[in-house]
Structure 1
């Protein structure tokens, strides 16, 4: 039996609200294909560095992973790409994963980068069905969400056009729980994340 529990290190509260439930569903779908009948997915958990950790983001990522080592079996590190996802990953994620691996030299650290092209809100835009599930007026989703210069603003405009009165921030978990994985499969950045997560699950299964 392969036990899967992701620890998510993200940039802000709404990122956790959206990504944690999405991650649970994605891990279950991937594991069902990789290890049918031989896995258990526990709810993903938001992680952060303990208070008082000196240094920058790399040190905080390493400390957060070390702090939750006994509870989580793989780690997902999120950073918005701000239009330069490769560079943002190199600066904001890779050093932290390297530091965590140096800190936990006794065990293999299974960790994955999660980097939308600009903002994670772009991953909330490809599925018309989510907006229908919210009710209200019909809205038109963008054809290529990852090319939106301000996905957060686009999301807010779509919700307003649909007549939704709840704060946008209150709906992130709903999107994470509801958006279809096959709709997300139209986004290259999400596909990169999904493929790396698949590799990470194989790595996790190979650990004695």
Structure 2
């Protein structure tokens, strides 16, 4: 008989949910590939942000996760201009400790996994340039013209980099076909970006390690 694994995602915004829920599912599938048990992964459950402090958001998410039967809750937080260590020390670790020390912790999900991309989640969308070029119809445009010549985690504003690459790719098309924008990329890149490309990114490597430590006991 199959065992079911339910995972939740608390992300910064709607586009992060669109991208990350597909990457998370494929990552879990990769981790449990050689499990002795037959494990099925339920659809990723999205937990939206609420108004309030970061700690209040995580407390709310942990309660929602518990009530929804979520086994592990992923906490997405972009590093922006900070380092991953800074975000962990000042935001995520204190929030996790609050849950673990909470008087009502038995009614909260305690398996909390950080997901902190360098700068922002859009950096992960730059991990496979050839796939990106296919998605934006820019196969015949060289990388330098598109401004895509650096490693994914080295762009200070990966979202702006993507927007500019799309703009350049659309410039040679007729006005009737210039209807593509960055919002069209989150789902396909979340579904198609090879894990082998993501595994070259330090932030994904850390996420993979943390997620693996939580998922393997279910094997």
Superposition TM-score, scaled by structure 2 size: 0.82
1:71-107 Cα offsets, whole Å, 9 max, x none, are: 3111000110123211112222222222223332478
| Equivalent of residue 73 in structure 2, options 61, 72, 75 | 75
Question: Are 1:46 and 2:46 an aligned pair?
Answer: yes
Contact between 2:74 and 2:113, CA under 8 Å: does it hold in 1? Answer: yes
The farther-off stretch of 122-131 and 185-194 is: 122-131
CA distance in structure 2 between the partners assigned to 1:109 and 1:3 by the alignment: 18
Stretch of structure 1 that moved more, 97-106 or 144-153? 97-106
Residues of 1 paired with 2:6 and 2:169: CA distance?
Answer: 36
Deviations 1:12-59 (CA, angstroms, capped at 9, x unpaired): 1111110011111111111113x155211111111136x6x7x52112
Aligned partners of 1:122 and 1:148 also within 8 Å: yes
The answer to whether the 8 Å contact 1:59/1:99 transfers is no
Match of 1:115 in 2: 116
TM-score, structure 1 normalization: 0.86
The alignment partner of 1:162 has SS state of helix
Residues 82 and 88, structure 1, Cα contact 8 Å, conserved in 2: no
**Where in structure 2 are there 5+ consecutive unaligned residues?**
171-177
- Whether contact under 8 Å (2:84, 2:118) holds in the other structure is yes
1:107-128 CA distances to partner (integer Å, 9 max, x unpaired)?
Answer: 8721110001111111000113
SS in 1 for 2:4: strand
Rg comparison, structure with higher value? 2
Stretches (4+) displaced over 6 A: none
Question: Residues 107 and 165 from structure 1, CA distance in 2 versus in 1: closer, same or farther, beyond 3 angstroms?
Answer: closer
